[in-house]
Homo-oligomer: A and B are copies of this chain.
Amino acid sequence: MYSFKNDYSVGAHPSILKALLDTNETQQQGYGQDDYSLLATDLIRDKLQNQASDVHLVSGGTQANLTVISSILKPYQSVISAVTGHINHMETGAIEATGHRIETIPTPNGKLTPALIEAFMDTLMPVHMRIPKLVYISNSTEIGTHYTRNELIALWDFCKQKDMFLFMDGARLASGLDAGDITFPDLAKYTDVFYIGGAKNGALLGEAIVINNADIKADFSYNLKLRGALLAKGRLLGIQFVELFRDDLYFKIGAHLNRMAALLTKGISQLGYSFSTNSKTNQIFPILPYSIIRQLEQKYDFYVWEKLDNEKAIVRLVTNWAMSEAIIEQFIADLAACSVNAYKPERELCLQD
C-alpha cells in the first residue's frame, strides 16, 4: 500500500535527521534562544532580503494560524478567508476559540481577490457587525491553486488601502512558490505576516512565522507562550530550518514536489481523465469513476475528496518529498490497467502487485 493521501506520511529529509544527530549533545538555551533558531532566523532573513523581519518557529500550522490571528485582532475584529481556507474548513473552530469570527467568501478557485473582498465588505453594517481587519490567504491553496505575483500585489495594495493586514498561510509554501512567480523577497514586501511550512516540506514538524510589519511584532513571543506554542527544546525547530535554508533545500524539495505532481497530472490526463482544479502544485484533484477508485484503493491510500454523482468523484493525490518517479509510473500504469478494464466488471482487480 503506497500513500498519496498527504505530504506528511513519511519522516524527515535525511539531511535534517543527520543534523539532529550531529548537534544532539550540545547544550543550548531553551524556548527559541538556541543558536540554531537564531541562525535559522538569519538564514531566512537573508533569503527574504529583509533584515527587519522577525522569525518565530512553532510546531504546527493550526497553532501558527491561531497564534498569529489572535495576536492581531481586537475582540470585535474578524479575519476574512476563502470558504476553502484551512482556518475555516479544517481547524475545528480554532480561530473562533480565540474569540474571533472568520468571514467566509466563496471563491471559484480557492483564491481571494480585492473585488471579492470589497463586495463582502459592502454588506457590513457598523456596530452590529464585525470589522474585518485581516485577510487570510493560503499559498498554495487547499485546492491546489497558487497566487501569482500580480495577484499578491493586488491584494496587498487593497489591504493597505483598507487599513487591513495580509497574512499568508504557507503550510505548502515551497510548492506554492515553485508553481508561480512570487519570490521570497516578495513575501517580505507584500505580506504583513506569513509562515514557512516545514512539516509538509521535508521537516519532522515546524512552521516558521515571519512578521514583516513592525506594528505586530511587539511581544509576539508572549503570544507563543500563551498558546502553548513555545517549545522547551526549540533547537528541534531551529536545526530543521537551518537545514532547510542553509543550502536551499527548502526550494529543492518544493520543486521536487511539483515535478512529481506534474508527472502524475500528465499521466492521468493522457489516460483521458479531467481535474476539478487546475493545479500546478503538489496536490492534484483528478475526477475518477468509482469503479476505478475502488480498484486503486486496494493498492494506494488517498482521499476521495468529493462525491460528484453516483458514478464518479474527485480524489486528492498529494506528492511528498520522498516520492520517486518510479512510484508515479507505477501508479499511472495501474490506473491505465484499471482504465482498460473499466467496463469489464467480471474482473474485480486489475492492479499489478
Residues of chain A at the chain B interface (Cβ within 8 Å): 1-3, 5-6, 8-12, 14, 17, 20-21, 23-31, 59-67, 70-71, 74-76, 78, 89-94, 96-101, 125, 127-131, 199-200, 204-205, 219, 221-223, 225-233, 235-236, 301, 322
> Chain B residues near A30 (CB, 8 Å)?
5-6, 8-9
Complex alpha-carbon distance, A93 and B60, angstroms: 21
List 9 A-B pairs, Cβ < 8 Å.
A9-B30, A10-B24, A11-B20, A11-B236, A60-B228, A62-B225, A67-B228, A94-B226, A97-B99
Which residue from B2, B11, B90, B232 sits with its C-beta under 8 Å from A23? B11
- Rank and list the top 3 A-B pairs by shortest CB-CB distance, nearest first: A63-B228, A11-B24, A76-B222
Q: A17-B24, A20-B11, A235-B11 given as contacts; is B96 within 8 A of A100 (CB)?
A: yes
Looking across the interface, which residue of chain B has its beta carbon closest to that of A222? B76
Docked-complex contact B205 and A127, CB < 8 angstroms: no
- Docked-complex contact B129 and A90, CB < 8 angstroms: yes
A11 near B205 with CB under 8 A, answer no
B322 touches A66 (CB 8 A): no
Q: List residues of chain B with CB within 8 A of the CB of A63.
A: 228-229
Each complex incorporates copies of this chain amounting to: 4
Shortest Cβ distance from residue A248 to the other chain B in the assembled complex, whole angstroms: 22
Measured between beta carbons, the chain B residues less than 8 angstroms from A130 are: 92-93, 222
* Cross-chain contact A25 with B11 (CB below 8 angstroms): yes
A292 → B minimal CB distance (Å) = 22
Check A75 against B66 for contact (C-beta < 8 Å): no
- A88: shortest Cβ distance to chain B, in Å? 9
Please report the C-alpha to C-alpha distance between residue A327 and residue B225 in the assembled complex, in whole angstroms: 32
CB distance from A231 to the nearest CB of B (A): 6
Given A76-B223, A90-B129, 5 new contacts (CB under 8 A): A10-B24, A62-B230, A63-B228, A97-B227, A128-B225
Partner among B5, B10, B129 whose Cβ is within 8 Å of the Cβ of A92 = B129
**CA distance in complex: A5, B31 (Å):** 13
CB distance from A302 to the nearest CB of B (A): 12
A92 with B25, Cβ < 8 A, contacts A59-B59, A76-B219 known: no
CA distance A66 to B236 in the complex (A): 22
Instruction: Pick the residue among B205, B232, B233 that contacts A231 (CB under 8 A).
Output: B205
Q: How far is the CA of A90 from the CA of B200 in the complex (A)?
A: 32
One of B17, B25, B205 near A21 (C-beta < 8 A): B17
Residues of chain B within 8 A (CB-CB) of A100 are: 93, 96-97
Instruction: Tell me whether A20 and B23 are in contact (CB under 8 A).
Output: no
Q: Contact check, A232 vs B8: say whether CB atoms are below 8 A apart.
A: yes
B93 touches A233 (CB 8 A): no
Roughly how many angstroms separate A11 CA and B253 CA in the complex, as a whole number? 26
- Shortest Cβ distance from A309 into chain B, in angstroms? 15
Tell me which residues across on chain B come within 8 A of A94, comparing CB atoms.
Answer: 225-228
Closest chain B residue to A301, Cβ basis: B27
Q: How far is the CB of A208 from chain B (nearest CB, A)?
A: 15
CA distance A305 to B20 in the complex (A): 31
The smallest C-beta distance from A134 to any residue of chain B, in angstroms, reads: 13
Q: Which residues of B contact A90 (CB under 8 A)?
A: 125, 128-129
**B99 pairs with A76, CB closer than 8 A:** no
Bound CA span A63–B100, Å: 17
